[in-house]
Amino acid sequence: MSGNLPAPGSALRAMFRHECALQLRNRSELYNPLLFFTSIIVFVPLGISPEAGFLKQLAPGMVWIIALLSVLLSLDRVFQADFEDGSLEQALLSGQSGYMLVLAKVLVHWLFTGLPLTLLSPVLGIMLALPAEAYGCLMLSLFFGSGALCFIGAVGAALTVSLRRGGLLLSLIIIPLYVPVLIFGSGAVSAAAIGDSYGATLAVVVAFWLAALMLAPFAALGALKINLAE
């Protein structure tokens, strides 16, 4: 029986393609985090101050806070639909690797949420008068940081998947865990903006991403199994 099971790599690829296809069927939901991210960045100069010196100081933290909220906005759809229609339970009972299933779901969620935010961030950095020398650090920090946010958030999404209106509880659970990533991510961009070395700070963000990548799928899988057992 075990000899008929696909190798972990091929199983992950198959799950990844399947999840991508599911995401592309609901394209309207994919634009919400990106529109939220863009809209708030555009409104900041209009609502606070268009003065370049002020925006330059505000930009690193503002971009990171809005990126964090954009990821948080979309977390409830990582497992919710599959949980409600029963396909998540069937997948976990079918003999598939639960770890690979969760990993594929979160990677696809990052691909359609965190990666677009990362690619768009330099354009929005221009709107906030962020110095050009900080764009590389901004993209790197958001690339790894948004991945960490997605994986950490998946644990909260799994814990609240059985709640119909678990958005507030999800936020209360996840936001404290997001704080270290936010501090080091925005800190790296702030250092780059003033010409200081940011390598060590960025390395901490990468470490958060690696830790979340390895550990969060196990925690999310355990939370899903608890909810399915109820």
Show the tokens assigned to 120.
């768009």
Residue 45's pLDDT band (cuts 50, 70, 90): confident
Lowest mean pLDDT among 33-42, 95-104, 160-169, 189-198: 160-169
Residue 60: other Cβ atoms inside 10 A = 26
Structure confidence at residue 166 (pLDDT): 62
CA 19 to chain centre: 16
Distance CA(142)–CA(199), nearest Å, equals 14
Residue 11 has what pLDDT?
Answer: 65
pTM: 0.85
- How far apart, in Å, are the Cα atoms of 6 and each of 15, 19, 31, 101, 213? 11, 17, 34, 13, 22
**What pLDDT, on a 0 to 100 scale, did the predictor assign at position 34?**
75
In degrees rounded to 5, what are phi and psi of residue 131?
-60, 145
Q: Would you say 72 and 171 are in contact if contact means Cβ atoms under 8 Å apart?
A: yes
Give the model confidence (pLDDT) of 154-163 as tens digits.
998 888 887 7
For the segment 169-220, what is each residue's pLDDT rounded down to a tens digit? 788 888 999 999 999 999 999 999 988 999 999 999 999 999 999 999 999 9
pLDDT at 88 over 80: no
